[in-house]
């Protein structure tokens, strides 16, 4: 792999993603200097206590001065504000990127602010957890995970290759995508699952008033899996919903239609159709495992053994 090194990297936002980047940049020796900027003085103090960088400031413009690579890791609704703040202080030829979960809206907010002498290349590591803040990050977060770059057509190829090499040095596999396509794909594989989780946990929480503590007491692992996703950061997910509105509404529409047909199958006792649907969906997970993508279950071996039995109709 090509040697990747930046004299100075500025990290704007030092939560789960920013602090994971700081840790892996340090571990892999990818920067001569790591400058950290974040909005709140309290978070900045914590980043300093954790020794995540070489310089610390609450002034985003100050942090990017002289930086060869700037990575913005803030909730997507704040991207435009950050771009406005840093625009006048960027170094000639700097690469400016981000990690936001939505891409078209981030481009619409940031691109108009970027001076002509910098390379703006949006990105999105498909790696995360339900935790947030500087304590939540870890250097291995990006290992084996995809990072999707959504460069604009006119962007300098060398700069794109350098950013791709950076993410590879962080342990990621790198793909390129059109921003609109990214937003549609992520709406179904990431945004919708989170919204379904927020919704089911909300419904159970409403029921809780009726059933007292039974929802918690008898919660099986299926429900617990939903509570993990539904405990994700409210600011981040509010911003994702507001910034990928069209694709999310499209996927929610399809989801509601399919849920209505599922309701009908149950109402009419159509066991064959239910069995066929559940067989088809089980094959999706098998496909993920066979493609060598990580699944989160700690009992990975048992899961794949169960799946490999195939679908017998009793
Ligand atoms: N949490 C996850 O699993 C993943 C999140 N992302 C994306 O990464 C970005 C950051 O998410 P997390 O690190 O999880 O959030 P986080 O809540 O852990 O950290 C956000 C950081 O941004 C700072 N911040 C907020 N507004 C700011 C501003 N105007 N100027 C400077 N700093 C500001 C906060 O102080 C905090 O340090 C979001 O855009 C999110 O969509 C991408 C992949 C996974
Ligand atoms: O915690 C999980 O299961 C996630 O799905 C993490 C995640 C959240 C948002 C992203 O844009 C990418 C990854």
Rounded Cα distance between 105 and 252, Å, is 19
306 touches ligand 1 (CB under 6 Å): no
Atom of ligand 2 nearest to the CA of 101: 11
36 touches ligand 1 (CB under 6 Å): no
User: In this structure, which long-range contacts are made by residues 31-34, counting pairs with CB atoms below 8 Å and at least 24 apart in sequence?
Assistant: 31/5, 31/6, 31/7, 31/69, 32/5, 32/6, 32/7, 32/8, 33/7, 33/8, 33/9, 34/8, 34/9
Report how far ligand 2's centroid is from the alpha carbon of 66 (Å): 32
Domain 6-177 and domain 181-307, same fold? Reply is no
Please give the CATH number for the structural domain made up of 6-177: 3.40.50.720
Cα separation values, 71 from 127, 172, 196, 301, Å: 16, 16, 30, 37
Atom of ligand 2 nearest to the CA of 232: 1
76 touches ligand 1 (CB under 6 Å): yes
pLDDT in tens, 16-56: 999 999 999 999 999 999 999 999 999 999 999 999 999 99
**Interface confidence (ipTM) of the complex:** 0.99
Query: Given CA atoms 63, 66, 72, 77 in this order, what sign does their dihedral have?
Result: positive
185 touches ligand 2 (CB under 6 Å): no
Q: Is the pLDDT of residue 93 over 90?
A: yes
Average pLDDT on 182-202 reads 97
Rounded Cα distance between 188 and 284, Å, is 14
Q: Which of 191, 232, 233, 241 to mutate to test the pocket of ligand 2 (most atoms within 8 A of CB)?
A: 232
Place of tokens 């849920």: 259
CB 215 within 8 A of CB 204: yes
Q: How many residues does the chain have?
A: 314
Ligand that lies nearest to the alpha carbon of residue 192, given by its number in the listed order: 2
CB 122 within 8 A of CB 151: yes
28-42, 84-98, 125-139, 220-234: segment of lowest average pLDDT: 220-234
Q: Which fold has domain 181-307?
A: 6-phosphogluconate dehydrogenase C-terminal fold (1.10.3660)
15 touches ligand 1 (CB under 6 Å): yes
Rounded Cα distance between 49 and 109, Å, is 32
Among protein residues, the one with the nearest Cα to ligand 1's atom 40 is 100
Report how far ligand 2's centroid is from the alpha carbon of 126 (Å): 6
Report how far ligand 2's centroid is from the alpha carbon of 136 (Å): 14
147 touches ligand 1 (CB under 6 Å): no
16-51 CB burial, b ≥16 within 10 A, e <16: bbbbbbbbbbbeeebbeebbbbbbeeebbebbeeee
CB 124 within 8 A of CB 186: yes
Rounded Cα distance between 54 and 77, Å, is 27
Among protein residues, the one with the nearest Cα to ligand 1's atom 28 is 39
Domain borders along the chain are 6-177, 181-307
Q: Which of 18, 126, 233 to mutate to test the pocket of ligand 2 (most atoms within 8 A of CB)?
A: 126
pLDDT for residue 313: 55
Among protein residues, the one with the nearest Cα to ligand 2's atom 3 is 129
Atom of ligand 1 nearest to the CA of 78: 29
Rounded Cα distance between 236 and 198, Å, is 13
10 touches ligand 1 (CB under 6 Å): no
- Split at pLDDT 50, 70, 90, the class of 172 is very high
- Residue 59: how many CB atoms within 10 A of its CB? 12
73-77, 154-158, 247-251, 284-288: segment of lowest average pLDDT: 284-288
CB 54 within 8 A of CB 27: no
Among protein residues, the one with the nearest Cα to ligand 2's atom 2 is 129
78-87, 121-130, 212-221, 305-314: segment of lowest average pLDDT: 305-314
């Amino acid at each position: 792999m090509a040697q990747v090194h930046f004299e100075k990297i500025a990290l704007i936002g030092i939560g789960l993603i920013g602090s994971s980047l700081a840790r892996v940049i340090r571990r892999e020796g990818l920067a001569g200097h790591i400058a950290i900027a974040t909005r709140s003085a309290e978070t900045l103090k914590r980043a300093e206590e954790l020794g995540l960088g070489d310089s610390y400031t609450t002034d985003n413009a100050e942090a990017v001065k002289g930086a060869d690579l700037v990575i913005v890791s803030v909730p997507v609704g704040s991207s435009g504000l950050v771009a406005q703040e840093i625009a006048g202080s960027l170094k000639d030829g700097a690469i400016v990127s981000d990690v936001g979960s939505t891409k078209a809206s981030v481009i619409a907010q940031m691109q108009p602010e970027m001076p002509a002498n910098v390379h703006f290349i949006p990105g999105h590591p498909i790696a995360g957890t339900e935790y947030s803040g500087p304590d939540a990050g870890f250097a291995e977060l990006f290992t084996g995970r995809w990072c999707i770059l959504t460069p604009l057509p006119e962007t300098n190829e060398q700069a794109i290759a350098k950013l791709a090499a950076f993410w590879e040095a962080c342990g990621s596999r790198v793909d390129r995508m059109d921003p609109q396509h990214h937003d549609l794909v992520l709406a179904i594989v990431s945004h919708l699952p989170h919204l379904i989780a927020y919704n089911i946990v909300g419904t159970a929480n409403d029921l809780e008033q009726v059933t007292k503590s039974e929802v918690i007491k008898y919660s099986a692992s299926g429900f617990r899996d939903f509570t993990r996703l539904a405990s994700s950061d409210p600011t981040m997910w509010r911003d994702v919903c507001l910034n990928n509105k069209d694709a999310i509404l499209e996927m929610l529409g399809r989801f509601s239609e399919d849920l209505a047909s599922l309701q009908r199958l149950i109402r009419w006792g159509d066991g064959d159709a239910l069995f066929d649907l559940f067989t088809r969906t089980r094959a999706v997970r098998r496909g993920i495992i066979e493609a060598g993508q990580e699944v989160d279950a700690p009992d990975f071996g048992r899961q794949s053994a169960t799946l490999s039995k195939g679908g017998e109709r009793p």
